[in-house]
Amino acid sequence: MTTYDFSNQTAIVTGGAQGIGGAVTELLTANGARVVIWDMDVELAQTTAARVGGGALAVQVDVSDWDSVQAAMAKTQETSGSVEVLVNSAGIAGANAPLADYPVEEFRKIVDINLNGTFLVNKAVVPGMTAKGYGRIVNIASVAGKEGNPNASAYSASKAGVIGLTKSLGKELAGQDISVNCVTPAAARTRIFDQMKQEHIDYMLSKIPRTRFLELNEAAAMIAWLVSAENSFTTGATFDLSGGRATY
């Protein structure tokens, strides 16, 4: 396994209690980072923190609420100091339905968490990175944000927005040693599948040329390089984890 030096670095991982975020939490901790898990499910986050060790902490936060994000940021700085790494993994899939039938409040909820949540967390973390002149950010989007999945207009639109936000922020901070990139995973077997109809899961699998779902450790490996000091040039970019699905 490739290793990186994250010693003396604090990393926030939103949605870090399980799924891709959980795999990232484990890998960064194993490479010396002190990880602060931001998650709505604080009990699961505490369990994950205890399991990975390394001084990992759990903070309950609603990424779609600015007051909650600010409180989480203040607690993180109080306990762990400056933040060098952010992996923004919190997100939901939401309901599957044709756009004409899509519940308005459900659409707003998905955009609030996936897109507005990404904005708020980045907004909270960037000033500290700017002051220090160093930082690494990865926002987790989705291949659905590139290609659009039928009956998933809210999720697809929210993840397309994450890609656009990442590109914009990457250009804003390009003059400093701060990189802002995103990854666009194909589906991985996580708890998010519980929110989807089986026919939608089957559809996603049928679109992956490798004919299997993404493994969590595969996602974590790419993200670990993106948030390492070795990634000193690439910013504002989109990295595919689509198993050959993405066409651009």
Q: What is the pLDDT of residues 181-225, one digit of tens each?
A: 999 998 777 666 666 678 777 887 888 888 888 889 999 999 999
Catalytic pick from 102, 155, 203, 248? 155
Could you confirm whether 155 is annotated as catalytic? yes
246 part of a folded domain = no
pLDDT computed for residue 196 by the predictor: 67
Domain span at 219: 10-239
110 part of a folded domain = yes
pLDDT band at residue 103 using 50, 70 and 90 as cut-offs:
very high
92 part of a folded domain = yes
Say what the pTM is.
0.93
Please determine, for residue 34, whether its predicted confidence score (pLDDT) is greater than 80.
yes
Task: Tell me the CB-side half-sphere exposure of residue 15, using CA atoms within 13 A.
Answer: 22
The domain spanning residue 51 has which CATH number? Answer: 3.40.50.720
Cβ neighbours, 10 Å, residue 210:
12
